[in-house]
Amino acid sequence: AQLVGADNPGQIGSYNGLAVTPAMGWDNWNAFGCDVSEDLLLGTAQKIVDVGLRDLGYNYVILDDCYSDGRYPNGTIKPNFQKFPNGFKHVSDRLHALGLKYGMYSSAGYLTCGRYTASLGREMTDAQTFADWGVDFLKYDNCYNGGQSGTAQISYTRYKAMSDALNATGRPILYNMCSWGDDGPWNWAQTMANSWRMSGDVYDSFSRPDERCPCTGDEPGYLCALPGFHCSILNIMNKMAKIVSKTQTGAQNDMDALEVGNGGMTDDEYLTHMSMWTLEASQLVMGTDIRSLDPSAYSILANPAVLALNQDPAVSAGARRWIHQVADKDENDAGNIQLWARTMNNTDAVIALVNAGNTLRDMNATLADIFFDQGGVISPQARQGWDIYDLWANRMDNETASSILNGTAPAIISVDDMLNQTTRWNVSMMSYAEGLNANASALFGKMIGSVDALGTVTAKNVSRHGVALYRLRANGKGMSKLDARDEL
Amino acid sequence: AQLVGADNPGQIGSYNGLAVTPAMGWDNWNAFGCDVSEDLLLGTAQKIVDVGLRDLGYNYVILDDCYSDGRYPNGTIKPNFQKFPNGFKHVSDRLHALGLKYGMYSSAGYLTCGRYTASLGREMTDAQTFADWGVDFLKYDNCYNGGQSGTAQISYTRYKAMSDALNATGRPILYNMCSWGDDGPWNWAQTMANSWRMSGDVYDSFSRPDERCPCTGDEPGYLCALPGFHCSILNIMNKMAKIVSKTQTGAQNDMDALEVGNGGMTDDEYLTHMSMWTLEASQLVMGTDIRSLDPSAYSILANPAVLALNQDPAVSAGARRWIHQVADKDENDAGNIQLWARTMNNTDAVIALVNAGNTLRDMNATLADIFFDQGGVISPQARQGWDIYDLWANRMDNETASSILNGTAPAIISVDDMLNQTTRWNVSMMSYAEGLNANASALFGKMIGSVDALGTVTAKNVSRHGVALYRLRANGKGMSKLDARDEL
Amino acid sequence: AQLVGADNPGQIGSYNGLAVTPAMGWDNWNAFGCDVSEDLLLGTAQKIVDVGLRDLGYNYVILDDCYSDGRYPNGTIKPNFQKFPNGFKHVSDRLHALGLKYGMYSSAGYLTCGRYTASLGREMTDAQTFADWGVDFLKYDNCYNGGQSGTAQISYTRYKAMSDALNATGRPILYNMCSWGDDGPWNWAQTMANSWRMSGDVYDSFSRPDERCPCTGDEPGYLCALPGFHCSILNIMNKMAKIVSKTQTGAQNDMDALEVGNGGMTDDEYLTHMSMWTLEASQLVMGTDIRSLDPSAYSILANPAVLALNQDPAVSAGARRWIHQVADKDENDAGNIQLWARTMNNTDAVIALVNAGNTLRDMNATLADIFFDQGGVISPQARQGWDIYDLWANRMDNETASSILNGTAPAIISVDDMLNQTTRWNVSMMSYAEGLNANASALFGKMIGSVDALGTVTAKNVSRHGVALYRLRANGKGMSKLDARDEL
Amino acid sequence: AQLVGADNPGQIGSYNGLAVTPAMGWDNWNAFGCDVSEDLLLGTAQKIVDVGLRDLGYNYVILDDCYSDGRYPNGTIKPNFQKFPNGFKHVSDRLHALGLKYGMYSSAGYLTCGRYTASLGREMTDAQTFADWGVDFLKYDNCYNGGQSGTAQISYTRYKAMSDALNATGRPILYNMCSWGDDGPWNWAQTMANSWRMSGDVYDSFSRPDERCPCTGDEPGYLCALPGFHCSILNIMNKMAKIVSKTQTGAQNDMDALEVGNGGMTDDEYLTHMSMWTLEASQLVMGTDIRSLDPSAYSILANPAVLALNQDPAVSAGARRWIHQVADKDENDAGNIQLWARTMNNTDAVIALVNAGNTLRDMNATLADIFFDQGGVISPQARQGWDIYDLWANRMDNETASSILNGTAPAIISVDDMLNQTTRWNVSMMSYAEGLNANASALFGKMIGSVDALGTVTAKNVSRHGVALYRLRANGKGMSKLDARDEL
C-alpha cells in the first residue's frame, strides 16, 4: 500500500516530535554563501523580528557553511572568531532572547561543501557540541562523503549516525538532511529525520536548464546519480511531482530554501515559486537579505493566507493532476501548463494553476480532475458546489509593505485587530490552525466566485510564468447523491 | 537458460507447499483503506460465503493495515480493541468456521504504510503472533524500510527474515511479499515466498498515467527506483509483459488486488482488468465492498470459465505476442492493441485480444503469432485447426446475479447440477482442474467458431478498452506433418 | 587505458590455461531443453564424430539442465537414473573414448533454472563431484540466485566461489559463466572464468523483438537489470557491439549457443548468425539435433574458412564500424546495415557487411572505415591494396553434405588430401593456426577481387538478412608512405 | 549546498599538497601503447627539456603500462629488463637530473589493462616500491578489478587503499585515479586523490561516436556502467559539462591525455581540444611522440597564454552556458555550437565559443550569458565594459616552431626577454601566477576589441570544429549601479 499521510495517522507522527508542520525560517546560503558573521546573523534576526516575519512563523535562523576554524585539540569544532568573535553560544542566546531558534550546518562527509571541518565519523562529538551551543536545527549536507553512497542502505547508515547522535544529546534538534535526493531519502528518511532535500540546489531562475543540474525528474523512477546544483523552479517542481506522497506530518520533502527577493526572477515567477513551495509543504526557509528586503518580496513572503496553507495541520504535498505542453515556449524552450491539487485539514481543497507558458492565458480545472484522487467524476466532492478564494488576492500593497519594512507601520496590537483584517498574522496570538478553524479572513484570501457541481474552475488572465492559487470551500449547493454507476 | 515453469517441473514446486495455483480471496485496502473493523471483516466474510464466492475459490479474507494499537510490554502486537473488540483469534476462529482462511498484514519496515507498528527486526516475534492468531496468509509491505534496499541482496535479506520466521512457526502461512518490484523480486523470491508484488499499487483507472506511479515498464530492464502508486491497468500490464516467465507453480507475480466493483472504470474496462489478471496467473484478491456488490461486478468476479483459467494446474503467465500503437487515442493519450497468449495444462491455448484503442474494432490473431513460442509457422500447433471458445460468452445476466446477491437464487445443489449449467461452480464439489479434465461446460465458455491450420482468429467488435478472451481447443482437423524447411 | 587483447599480451593469458581460443562443441538446451538422456548424449556424440564435426573442432559435448534427482544423504548430486541409467562417469568415459570432452551444467543459485538441485553454497562438493565424473566444462547458470546480485562485487563473489572450487579439484575444467550479463561480467570475469554470457538467452529469430528480452544494448552503458530470454540475433549483436574489447585469449564474451539448424530462420539468416558468432570469437556451441541435421545446416556449421576465423590465435571480437538505418524494414520493423571488422593474427583483416535490411542490396566498406582503429585514412593499412576472399564462397553443396551426413562420403584421409581441397578440415591433423600459416586453401575461402589503396570494398547482391564475410589479404600493391599530414 | 572551489577555500586545499594547479607532463600511452623502453622515456625527456616544454611546465614524464616482468620472490614488481636494462631507479635519477618528475602506472586490479602484474591487494608493497624508485606520480587504472565496483562505497574503498599506501611511504606522490568515471569519483575522490579520469579513454577523433564508448554524458545523472574507450573530444566535453563544479584546487577531473600531434584531427580540431582541456583545468598530459613533433602541434602545446589559463591559481572548470544544435552536421552527424565560461583568479573571464558545426560561422555570446552565474543581466559584471583578448592570436608561426624543434632557435635568456615577447614562457623564471599578476603580454594573447556593458561578444569566422578562446578583462567603462529590479 502507499504511504498514509496526515489524514489517516497511525500512532507515530514526527520521529522526534519536531516539524509537525513544515519548519519556517531563514538561511544565509542563497544570498551570502560563505560570507557569514555574527553581525549578519544577529542583524538579520533583529530585522526578522522587527518586520513581523518571526510572528508569521519564520522562527529558525540558520547559519550555513564556513563558520569554523578547524578543531580544538580535544576534537571539538573551533569557531572562526574573526567571523564570530563571541562564539556560537552567544549567537544562540541572542537568538533565543529574540524568540527565535538557532540552526546550524554540517556535512555527512569529511569536509563541508566549503571545505571546512565536517562530521562524518564525528557525529557524537559534533552533535553534543551543537547541543551545548543551544542549536535547535541542523542542516546536514552531503559533500565529500567518502563514497558512502550508492544504495539506500549505505546512505541511510551514514545519515542515521547523526540522527542517533542528535537524539543522544537529549536536546530537541530538528534534523534536516541535505542529501540532494541521493539514494532516494523519500523512501526511508521519515523514521529518522524531519526533512530531506529532494533535489540538487535551487537557483534563482524559473525555467532555465543548467547542465550542472543534469536530472529532470523524468529519469526512470527519478533515480539521479548526480543531483548537482543550479536547479530551476520548474526542474524542482517536476521532480517533486513524483514523490509528493512521501511528505507527511513530521517528515517532509525539502525543496530547498527560497530565492524570493534575490532578483533573478520576475514578480510573477516568485509568486509561483512561493505558491508551489507552500502547496508542497516544503519547509519555508527565506534565502535573501532580510535587512534590505524589497516590499514586493516582503508581500510574497508574508502573506498569511499562503502561509496558512503551508502550515495546515493535514501535512501533505499537493499532487500534480496534469501537465500539458503548450506552443508558447519561453527563451529556455520551456512551455507548459499544470494543475496541482491538495486537500486541507478542514476538507477545503487548494489548487494551483501554473502557467509555465510564455503568454498570459485563461486556465481551467474541472472538479473531476481536482478531485481525481477522491474518485473524480463519481466522487462526492466533484458532485457539489464550491466557493473559490484567491489566496493572493489580498496581497499587501507595496506602500504598506515599505512602511512595515522601514518601521513606520504599526504591528498587530490584538487578536481582534488580527481577525479583522486581511494581510497580517501573528502566530503567537493565534496559530494558523486555530485561525483556519475560526475562519479568519486573513487566512482565506478573497472569494472571487463559485463553481457548480461537476463544473470547471476558471482562472482568468494567469500571467506568463504565473499562478492562480485558489482555495475551494464547499458551499453546500448542488450536492447530489451519486447516481447509478451505469449512467457514467 | 530461462526459468522453467510448470510444464517442466524439477523436484521443487512451491517452497512451502502453498499457492500451488494462485491464491484467491478478498482484501479490504482498495475499498476501505484504514477503515477496518471486526464487523467489516466478518460481515464481508459471511457475504462471501452467502453469494457463493467462497465456493468459487475466494477463500482468503485479508485484513490489511491499521489494525493495531502499538505493542504490549512483552513486545507483541496489541490489537486495536476499538476496531476489533474480540481480538484477532476470534476473527480467525470465525473465518475458519465459515470455511475461509485468514490473512493479515505487516511491513518489512519500522512502520506500516499507515504508520502502525511493523515487523522489521521483530520477525520472529510477529510471525509467532500471527501463527498464534491462526493466520494463514501474510501480506508483507515495504514502507519505512530503513533504507534496506538498493540491491537484490539487501532486499532479499530483509524479506528472507520473515520467510524464515514464518517457516519457524510450523504453521503453513502463505507469504505474499508486497515490495512493489523493488530490487526485482521476480529474480529471487521464488525460493522463499509465494507471490510478490511487481509494481506500485494499482488504482481504479484503465489508462490514466499518474506521476506518482512514474515507471512504465519500458525502463531499461524494467528497473524502477520509485514504484509509487496510482498505477493503471495498462501500466501494470506493460510491466508484467517483461517478467511473465518468472511466474510459476507456488510462486507468482502479484499484480495487486482487483478494482472490479469500485466504480472508476467501465464494465468493459473491468472485464479487461479481470481477464488479464486471470490470464497472468496473478493472485485474485477482490478489493471492493462485497456487502453491496453490483450484479455486473459479481458476474465478472464469479465467472467459472475465467477462474478456471487462473487456477489452471500449469501455472504460468500469458506472454504478450505483440502490441501495436493505433491512431484512436483515448483522453489519456493511450491507444494500442495487444495480443497475449498462454498454453494450458490440457494443451488448450488461451488468448486475450486487448483493444486499448478508443473505438470498437475487429481484431485478428494468427496461429503463427499465437504459437510463436512453439515455433510459430513451423510449429505443429499452428499447423492444425482449433475450435474457439469465448470465455466471457456465458457471463451471468444481471437479473440472476441480483437474485444471488439478495439471496433469492438457489445455490448449486449437486455436482450433476454443476456440470449441467454454464455460469456456476463449487470447488468443494469439484476442483477446477478436475472440471477441466471432465470438460465441464461451465469452464469453457461458449464455442463461437473455429480456425483452420495456419489461419487467423478474428474477434468481431471488440469494445473500446475491452477484450476478447478466447480458449482454443485443438479439433484434430488439418493437422499436417511439417513440410521440409526449405519450403518456408 | 583500455584492455589489451592478444596483440599485446602481458604475462598472463587464460586464467586456467583453457579456452585459449574459443571453445567449440554441442549443448542440448536449444533443441531439447529438459528432455535429456544418456541416449541423446551418446547418440549425438557418435554422430558428431561420424560426420567430422569433432575433427573440425567441436569437441565439448555439454549436458545441460534437468539431469539430477536430488542429492544423496552425503550431499552429493544424485543422477536421474531414469535418464542416465549408468550415471555420469559412464557418460564421461564414453565421450572421452570418442575423443570428446564432457561438459555439465549447474546454477549459482538454490535451484537450476529447471528447478533441480543447484550449487550455491555447495560449490566445493559439486566441483569435486564434477571432477570425479570426469567433467571438462561447466556451464554455470544464474537462476534462483538468492538475490546475490546488484553490484559487480556481489556477482563476482558468487561466481568466484565456483571458480575457486573448480581450481581446487586439480582437474582442468573450462568455466563458462552463464550469468546473462548481470552486473557486467565483461568488466571482471577474465581473471576467474573462461567465458561469460553477455545477454539473456538467444532464440531462433533473426530480428523479432520479444518483451521477455527487454534490453537492447542501447541502455546507458548497456546496464541491463533484466536480461530475460528470447533475444534475437540482431539484439545480441547490438549488445556485443559495446563490449567487443573485453574478449581476449582465454576469456571470451559468450553470445550463447547456436540456433543453426533449428528451423526458425532462413538460410541467409543462419549464415549471418554463424558469421557473427564466429567473427566475435564467441564460443561455438551447436544447439540443434545433430542426429537429424539438415545438409544446409551442416554446411554452415562445418565451413573450415569460417571456423578458422573463430579459432584465430589473435583472439578478439570484431568491432562494429558503423550501423545505418535503412528504409526497407522487415516485418519486425528492423532495418539497418552494418560493417564489422577485425584484425587477424597474420595481419589479414576480416569484415562482415551485414544486410539487416529487408531487400537485397550492394554494400560498400571503405578501407578508411575498415582500418579506422589503425588510424583510418592515415593508417598504413588503408594506404595499400588488398585481395578479397569470400569466406562463404566454398560452402559445401547440399549433395556432398548429405553424403557425409548419411555416411556415404569418405572422411579426409591424409594431410595432403586436406590441403588440396576447399571444404574440409581435421584439426587432429593440422590445427587452424598451422593451416593459416600454411595458407591452406580450405581456410581462406575464395578470392573474388581486390581493392586499391584508399579504395572501397564492394559486396554485390547481399541478401536480405544476409552477410558478406570477407577476408582481406595485403597484396603489396599501392603501398605509399604516408604523406605529410597537412594534406589531409 | 554545492562544492565550493578556489574562490572560497576552507582550510583544506589539496589532500596531499600536490596538484594545487593541474599537473602537466607527458605519457606514452596514446602514441606508443605497450611499446615502452628506457630509450623512449629518456629520449623523450631530453627532447621535452630541449624544446622548452619542461620550462613551460610539462614536468611529469609518465611511464604507462607494460613495463614489468612479473614479481620477485619477495613479491615486489620486477622490471622488464629487456625494455629497461637499468631498472627504474636509473630512469628516475635521470629524469630528476633533467629537472623532471617521474610518473608510473599500475591498476587497482589483479592485472593491468595490458595484463601485467597489478596492485590490488598489494598496495603497501607496490607503493613502497614506487617510492623506492623515486616515483612522483601514479596513474592508477581500473582494469581486472575483481568486480570491486558497483557503488561509490566499493570503488572508494578500493582506491583509498592505494591513497593510504602512497601516504604511508612519506614520499609526495601525485595520485591520479584512472577509474574512467566508474561509480562517480567526482563525488568522493577529492579527499584522497589529486585527479580522477571522468570518462573512458579519449581517442584521436573530434566527433565520431564509437560504440565502444557507449555513454554520452546525457544518461540520467551521467551514470555510466561501461565507460569503454574511443571517446571523442565532443563526447568527453559533453560529459564534463555535467561535473565542472567538482574540479578544484588539488583535485581535478582528468579528461585524459592529449591527442595533439597524433594526426587524427585537423589543426582546428586540435586547437579546440587543447582549448577545452585547458579551460576545464584538466591535467595536461601530452600524448604524442615528442621526438618527432610537428611545428603546428608544438605551437598548440606551447602557447603560454593558453597554459596560463590552465594553471590559473583559481582552479576551476569552465561551465557550459549553452549548447545549441545547428543544421550543418558533419560526417558523424554531429553539429552544434557551444559557449563555455570561467572566472579567473584576477577577475578576468575566459570564454570558449566552440563551433562544432560543419561550416565556418560568426558566433556571439552576450555578457548576460557569460556572467549568468554572477546573476546574468543583473550582475555587476554584465553591467560594465570589457576588453577582449584572443588567447590564440599570438600562436607561434611554424617557422619559429621548427627552429626551436630542430635546435636552431635560442631559448629565453632572461626574465626581461620573457616579458617583452608574446610566445614563450619559462616557469622557472616566473610562474604563470606571477606573470598574470605582472600582466605579462605572453600570457594574455592579443587584444582584439571590446564590448560595452550588457553587450555581446562576437567572434568572426570561427572555423568548422574550431574555437574562439577569449579572455575578457574589465575596462572600467560603462559600469553602472544596478537599477531598481522592477525595471527588469
Task: State how far the Cα of A77 lies from the Cα of A128, in Å rounded to an integer.
Answer: 11
Give the neighbours of chain C: at least 3 Cβ pairs within 8 Å.
B, D
* Res B10: pLDDT: 52
Strand pairing report for D386-390 and D446-451? antiparallel
Task: Name the residue among C282, C274, C223 with its Cα closest to residue C253.
Answer: C282
What distance in Å separates the CA atoms of residue B352 and residue B323, rounded to the nearest whole number? 12
Domains of chain C: 24-310 (3.20.20.70), 319-487 (2.60.40.1180)
Residue of D nearest to C368 (CA): D264
Residue in chain A nearest D225 by alpha carbon: A225
What integer is the mean pLDDT of A199-227?
A: 96
| Chains A & B: contacts with CB separation below 8 Å | 135
Q: Report phi then psi at A60, rounded to 5.
A: -95, 125
Bridge partner list, C432: none
Chain A contact present for B226, CB below 8 A: yes
Name the active-site residue from C64, C126, C136, C141.
C141
| C-alpha dist (Å) from residue D163 to A142, B440, D172 | 22, 74, 11
Q: What is the mean pLDDT of chain A?
A: 94
Shortest Cα distance from A164 to chain B (angstroms)? 13
Residue B12: pLDDT band (50, 70, 90) is low
Query: D485 falls in which pLDDT band (50, 70, 90)?
Result: very low
**What would the mean pLDDT of D277-289 be, rounded to a whole number?**
98
D38-50 helix and D87-97 helix, angle to the nearest 10 degrees: 0
For residue C60, give every residue at least 6 positions away whose Cβ sits within 8 Å of its Cβ, in sequence order, or none: C23, C24, C25, C26, C100, C101, C102, C103, C136, C137, C174, C285
Task: Dig out the grid coordinates for A404 from the structure.
Answer: 512595515
Instruction: Tell me which of C72, C78, C144 to substitute to probe the interface with B (most B C-beta atoms closer than 10 Å).
Output: C144
Active-site option among D55, D141, D183, D312: D141
Residues of D in contact with A213 (CB under 8 A): none
Contact C23, C250 (CB under 8 A): no
Contact A224 D220 (CB under 8 A): yes
Q: Each residue of D146-203: pLDDT tens digit?
A: 999 999 999 999 999 999 999 999 999 999 999 999 999 999 999 999 999 999 999 9
Q: Determine the Cα–Cα distance for residues B457 and A460; give it in Å rounded to an integer.
A: 54
E strands, D87-181, where? 101-107, 137-141, 174-177
Calpha distance A79→A36 (Å, rounded): 12
Q: Which residues of A touch D10 (CB under 8 A)?
A: 66, 111-112, 114-116
B220 to chain C, closest Cα gap in Å: 6
Does B110 reach chain A within 8 Å, measured CB to CB? yes
**What percentage of residues in chain A have a pLDDT greater than 70?**
95
Segment D434-449 shows an average pLDDT of 97
Burial category of A186 from C-beta neighbours within 10 Å (exposed 0-12, middle 13-18, buried 19 and up): buried
> Rounded CA gap, B305 and A38, in Å?
78
B214 CB within 8 Å of a chain A CB: yes
Regarding predicted confidence, which is higher, B488 or C32?
C32
> When comparing pLDDT for B478 and C426, which is higher?
C426
- CB < 8 Å to B146, chain A: 156, 188, 191
Q: Which residues, 6+ apart, have CB-to-CB distance to D348 below 8 Å? A: D471, D472, D473, D474
Which residues of chain B have a CB within 8 Å of the CB of A9?
A: 115
Pairing of strands C60-62, C24-27: parallel
| CB contact B66 to A (< 8 Å) | yes
Cα A156-A162-A163 angle, rounded to 5 deg: 75
Contact (CB, 8 A) for C25 and C59: yes
Name which of D155, D221, D373 is nearest A214 (Cβ-Cβ).
D221
Backbone angles phi, psi at B227, to 5 degrees: -60, -40
- In this prediction, residue A243 carries a pLDDT of 98
Q: Which of C253, C130, C236 is nearest to C184 (CA)?
A: C253
pLDDT at position A233, please? Answer: 98
Which residue carries 448449486 as its cell? B412
C-beta atoms of B113 and A157 within 8 A: no
Q: Look at chain C and count its residues.
A: 488
**Residue B76 binned pLDDT confidence (cut-offs 50, 70, 90):** very high
Share the mean pLDDT of chain B: 94
Transcribe C318-354 into DSSP letters: PEEEEEEE-S---TTS--EEEEEEEE-TTS-EEEEEE
**And the C-alpha cell for A405?**
519594512
Say whether D398 sits in a helix, a strand or coil: helix
pLDDT, mean of residues C238-256: 97
State residue A331's pLDDT score: 94
C103 DSSP β-pair partners: C62, C137
Q: What is the pLDDT of residue B413?
A: 73
What pLDDT does B487 receive?
A: 36
The cell numbers describing D232, all together, are: 571523442
Residue of C nearest to B149 (CA): C150
pLDDT band at C410 (very low <50, low <70, confident <90, very high): confident
Q: What is the ipTM of this complex?
A: 0.94
Q: Is residue D328 annotated as part of the catalytic site, yes or no? A: no
Q: How far is CA C285 from the centre of its chain?
A: 7
Q: Which residues of chain D are within 8 Å of residue A204 when distances are taken between CB atoms?
A: 375
pLDDT over 70 (residue A483): no
The answer, for A225 touching chain B at a CB cutoff of 8 Å, is no
Please, are residues A352 and A467 in contact by the beta-carbon 8 Å criterion? Answer: yes
Subunits with 3+ Cβ pairs within 8 Å of B are A, C
Quick one: pLDDT at residue D483? 45
Instruction: Specify the pLDDT at position B484.
Output: 38
The tens digit of pLDDT for each residue in A265-320 reads 999 999 999 999 999 999 999 999 999 999 999 999 999 999 999 999 999 999 99
Distance of residue B79 Cα from the nearest chain A Cα, in angstroms: 13
CB atoms within 10 A of CB B325: 11
CB of A29 within 8 Å of any CB in chain D? yes
Read off the pLDDT band of A73 (50, 70, 90). Answer: very high
Cα separations in angstroms, D206 against C430, D213, D326, D360: 46, 14, 17, 16
For the ranges A387-401, D62-76, D405-419, which has the lowest average pLDDT?
D405-419
Say whether residue D32 is in contact with chain C using an 8 A CB cutoff: no
For chain C, give percent helix, strand, coil, nearest 5. 30, 20, 50
